[in-house]
């Protein structure tokens, strides 16, 4: 995480004035209809640049500057708030968080006894006013003092009930947003209506919340983060809500039937130290990509009402709360071109060529476009401004065009009519188009993959050597490698006796790889290393896998009704290749597997004598002894072959932590949770049969 956030550098008063106007216009557009020429990260950088310039040149500060103003000074609506809806100040790393906490504790003159830690949801703040338990009015944050009445949206927001469990008069505050599934559905409705899609979930939520004349209705989601009792209510409930810790107030809100983050993987917690706060920040950040809704940070606040009251407020933000901003996972950039690449299984995959943009700490120039149907569905054009995000925080993907930024110079994307690799026909029967030659179109790619370190691991077999063999007609697929003779290899250029003998020894050694690796080497579409291990462990033998129908394949964890028939069809297509592997004497069983009583029947999942069966295992620190040479990927494979589930983070669900040298915070957390801890030597003994 970035300790010192980058910002837009402004050279002089003219650049400063232009930046102020751009920020004001962007905020006004966003808070008006959800559109903006800037994405969130670009806007934040711009405002930080404005603030830095103002600190260096206080005499040049313009009255219209967005700094120090809620919502960047975008005044929307005329419904006064009972209590101002303020923004939060930001920190961008552990050091800044520690400095802020220390400053707050100096102001209080004592340590903060309890910190509340919650996700910062990526949506729009609203006030939901209940009278005698019935939802009466919805108001946007606006400029913090007054907002816009959007009560017409009542009934379209999941998590915001028409009635509370108790007939109370209160004001709930929270975030309105679109979940991933709601966003997809909204884009489909808009696509059907006018052929365009929304740019991203946040702008879709902003526009949808205010829309009153659309011929279609899009669903939204609400998460509460606070409650205000009626100012003139002197009841016991009102008094209690003013005195309860924030964490207990949120428990009360959830009991009223209002949605909070309590049931999500990023539920709010109470921490007793800044160190624990930072740990929770890292835990939330680690699962960010897996959430069905967007977050852009973590909110840390004093949990106790007394601490909040004593800390007070500045002109725009509470002093007792801060937003820990996470790196942006979505940006707007230009779609310059589309490349059509053919994969090792013959799948023709479009790839977006982008104007370089920094995304989550790295420069992105390429992004996934899925398939032709997806390009058509999203209405993408060359020259479009597009939103780009990281799927799983790893692979950049194009989300949608930003339609309101179109200039008229955009051009249609040219769709190939023949295979871009070999010029052959294209099979268009499925959404993912494929060359009719399948793996034969890119034999070199499929063989290179099969002999790789995580598959058959044939040392010394580089791509140029494989190309030699293909050109000499010695092989057509990777199964042919196991039938190569010494004389054939010696006949290749730059193949001496030593290198030939070494390569033959490596090929012979590869015959003994476990079934999980052999299956992975096949490159079955929809599977990878982890899925191959699950399939091998579930069935135990290649014979059982090949005998399985779609329903039996679907019984494997992670394989659904759509993927199972693809796996079955792929195995039929690969039948000749598998037969050659069997003939060559390649291992077709998983370690620990014993043949079932009835020939051809699948080995029941869990029938192995697996030492880690049902266990979630985390590995941390440097391995030693028998495990010293293993990479993290190989350790994960070892765990799964022994029946366990490899995980990267310690939680209450963790069964075992393998802690090597310099284990660090994961060991400390495991100790606090009572998780069993073993050293590499003890773990190696436990799973020795699989080494």
d(CA 606, CA 610): 8
Rounded distance between C-alpha atoms, residue 550 and residue 568, angstroms:
6
Which two tokens mark 369?
Answer: 């476009």
Second-level CATH architecture of 616-690: 3-Layer(aba) Sandwich (3.40)
Task: Say if CB 31 and CB 193 are below 8 A apart.
Answer: no
* Amino acid 634: pLDDT: 81
- Please tell me the distance from the alpha carbon of residue 378 to that of residue 187, in angstroms, as a whole number: 8
φ, ψ of residue 233 in degrees (nearest 5): -95, 115
Quote the tokens at residue 394. 């790893």
Strand-by-strand arrangement of the 295-302 sheet: 90-91, 321-325, 295-302, 115-121, 269-271
| Average pLDDT per consecutive 10 residues, the chain (691 residues; last block may be shorter) | 54 78 72 60 77 83 72 63 88 92 94 95 93 92 86 94 92 94 89 79 86 89 92 73 92 95 92 93 87 92 94 88 85 92 87 87 84 87 88 71 86 94 89 86 89 90 91 92 94 91 95 93 87 89 93 89 90 93 94 57 51 88 89 83 81 89 81 89 88 76
pLDDT at site 655? 92
Cβ neighbours of 91 (radius 10 Å): 23
pLDDT tens, residue by residue, 213-254: 888 999 999 999 999 987 666 677 778 888 899 999 999 999
The radius of gyration computed from the CA coordinates of the chain, to the nearest angstrom, equals: 29
CB-CB contact of 341 with 347 (8 Å): no
Please give the Cα distance from 221 to 199 (Å, whole number): 18
Q: Which residues contact 310 (CB under 8 A, 6 or more apart)?
A: 108
Domains 13-74 and 80-325 fall in the same CATH topology: no
Q: According to the model, what pLDDT value does residue 600 have?
A: 47
Question: Which residues make Cβ contacts (< 8 Å) with residue 345, sequence separation at least 6?
Answer: 434, 438, 439, 446, 523, 525
CATH of segment(s) 515-584: 1.10.150.20
Instruction: Give which of 681, 557, 558 is closest to 627, Cα–Cα.
Output: 681
User: Taking Cα atoms as reference points, which of 121, 119, 120, 114 lies closest to residue 270?
Assistant: 114
CA-nearest of 327, 367, 323, 326 to 349 is 367
Of 636, 434, 604, 614, nearest to 528 (Cα)?
Answer: 636
d(CA 633, CA 629): 11
Torsion sign, CA atoms 50, 51, 53, 59:
positive
**CATH 1.10.150.20 is held by the domain 439-510:** yes
Distance, CA of 107 to CA of 109 (rounded, Å): 5
Q: Tokens representing 626? A: 């028998």
**Which residues belong to the active site?**
120
Closest CA to 22 of 48, 47, 51: 47
Considering only CA atoms, which of 393, 116, 112, 87 is closest in space to residue 267?
Answer: 116
Q: Are 675 and 666 in contact (CB under 8 A)?
A: no
Non-local CB neighbours of 198 within 8 Å, separated by 6+ positions = 183, 186, 187, 190, 204, 207, 400
Assigned fold of 13-74: Helix Hairpins (1.10.287)
CA distances from 88 to 97, 178, 313, 436, 609 (A): 13, 22, 10, 56, 55
Element (H, E) at 41: helix 40-56
- Name the CATH topology of 80-325: D-amino Acid Aminotransferase; Chain A, domain 1 (3.30.470)
Alpha carbon distance 242, 337 (integer Å): 57
Give the integer Cα–Cα distance in Å for 586 and 289: 39
Half-sphere exposure of residue 601: CA atoms within 13 angstroms, side-chain side: 10
Domains of the chain, residue spans? 13-74, 80-325, 330-427, 439-510, 515-584, 616-690
Q: What is the pLDDT of residue 161?
A: 95
| Cα separation values, 305 from 107, 114, 318, Å | 16, 11, 13
Q: Which pLDDT belongs to residue 442? A: 82
Q: Is the dihedral of CA 404, 409, 413, 417 positive or negative?
A: positive
What does each C-alpha distance from 564 to 455, 548, 556 come to in angstroms?
A: 22, 10, 9
Q: Which two tokens stand for residue 245?
A: 């810790």
pTM of the model: 0.54
Q: Put the strands of the sheet holding 220-229 in their side by side order.
A: 134-140, 124-131, 170-177, 220-229, 157-158
Dist CA 683 CA 398 (whole Å)? 43
Superfamily of domain 330-427: Nucleic acid-binding proteins (2.40.50.140)
Per 3-state DSSP, what percentage of the chain is helix, strand, and coil (rounded to 5)? 40, 20, 40
């Amino acid at each position: 995480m970035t300790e010192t956030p980058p910002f837009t550098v402004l050279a002089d008063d003219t650049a400063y004035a232009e930046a102020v106007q751009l920020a004001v216009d962007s905020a006004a557009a966003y808070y008006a209809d959800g559109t903006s020429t800037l994405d969130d990260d670009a806007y934040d950088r711009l405002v930080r640049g404005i603030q830095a310039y103002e600190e260096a040149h206080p005499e040049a500060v313009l009255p219209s500057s967005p700094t120090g103003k809620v919502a960047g000074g975008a005044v929307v609506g005329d419904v006064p708030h009972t209590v101002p809806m303020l923004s939060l100040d930001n920190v961008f790393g552990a050091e800044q968080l520690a400095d802020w906490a220390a400053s707050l504790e100096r102001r209080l003159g004592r340590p903060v006894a309890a910190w509340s830690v919650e996700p910062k949801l990526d949506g729009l703040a609203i006030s939901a006013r209940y009278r005698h338990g019935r939802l009466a009015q919805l108001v946007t944050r606006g400029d913090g003092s007054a907002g816009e009445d959007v009560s017409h949206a009542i009934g379209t927001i999941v998590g915001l009930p028409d009635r509370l469990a108790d007939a109370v008069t209160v004001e709930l505050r929270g975030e309105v947003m679109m979940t991933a599934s709601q966003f997809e559905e909204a884009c489909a409705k808009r696509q059907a209506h006018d052929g365009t899609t929304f740019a991203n979930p946040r702008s879709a939520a902003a526009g949808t919340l205010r829309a009153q004349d659309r011929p279609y209705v899009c669903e939204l989601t609400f998460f509460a983060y606070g409650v205000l009792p009626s100012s003139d209510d002197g009841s016991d409930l009102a008094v209690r809500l003013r005195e309860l810790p924030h964490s207990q107030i949120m428990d009360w809100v959830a009991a009223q039937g209002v949605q909070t983050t309590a049931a999500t993987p990023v539920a709010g917690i109470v921490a007793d130290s800044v160190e624990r706060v930072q740990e929770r920040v890292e835990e939330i950040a680690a699962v960010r990509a897996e959430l069905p809704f967007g977050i852009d940070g973590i909110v840390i606040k004093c949990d106790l009402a007394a601490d909040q009251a004593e800390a007070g407020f500045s002109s725009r933000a509470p002093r007792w709360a801060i937003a820990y901003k996470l790196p942006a996972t979505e940006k707007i950039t230009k779609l310059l071109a589309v490349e059509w690449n053919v994969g090792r299984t013959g799948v023709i995959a479009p790839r977006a060529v982008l104007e370089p943009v920094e995304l989550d700490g790295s420069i992105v120039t390429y992004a996934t476009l899925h398939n032709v149907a997806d390009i058509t569905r999203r209405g993408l054009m060359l020259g479009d401004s597009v939103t780009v995000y990281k799927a799983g925080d790893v692979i950049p993907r194009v989300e949608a065009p930003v339609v309101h930024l179109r200039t008229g110079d955009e051009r249609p994307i040219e769709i190939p009519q023949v295979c871009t690799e070999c010029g052959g026909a294209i099979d268009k029967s499925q959404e993912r188009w494929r060359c009719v030659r399948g793996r034969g179109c890119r034999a070199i790619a499929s063989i290179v993959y099969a002999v790789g370190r995580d598959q058959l691991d044939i040392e010394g077999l580089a791509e140029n050597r494989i190309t030699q063999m293909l050109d000499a007609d010695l092989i057509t697929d990777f199964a042919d490698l196991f039938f190569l003779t010494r004389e054939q290899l010696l006949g290749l250029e730059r193949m001496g006796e030593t290198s030939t003998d070494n390569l033959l020894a490596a090929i012979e050694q590869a015959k003994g790889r476990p079934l999980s690796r052999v299956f992975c080497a096949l490159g079955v579409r929809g599977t990878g290393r982890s899925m191959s291990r699950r399939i091998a462990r579930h069935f135990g033998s290649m014979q059982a896998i090949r005998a399985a129908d779609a329903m039996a394949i679907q019984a494997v964890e992670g394989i659904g009704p759509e993927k199972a028939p693809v796996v079955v069809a792929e195995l039929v297509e690969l039948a000749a290749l598998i037969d050659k592997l069997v003939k060559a004497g390649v291992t077709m069983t998983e370690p620990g597997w014993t043949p079932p009583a009835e020939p051809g029947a699948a080995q029941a999942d869990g029938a192995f004598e697996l030492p880690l069966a049902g266990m979630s295992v985390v590995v941390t620190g440097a391995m030693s002894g028998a495990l010293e040479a293993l990479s993290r990927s190989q350790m994960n494979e070892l765990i799964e072959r022994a029946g366990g589930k490899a995980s990267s983070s310690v939680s209450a669900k963790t069964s075992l932590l393998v802690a090597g040298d310099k284990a660090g915070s994961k060991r400390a957390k495991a100790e606090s949770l009572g998780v069993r801890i073993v050293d590499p030597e003890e773990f190696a003994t436990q799973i020795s049969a699989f080494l």
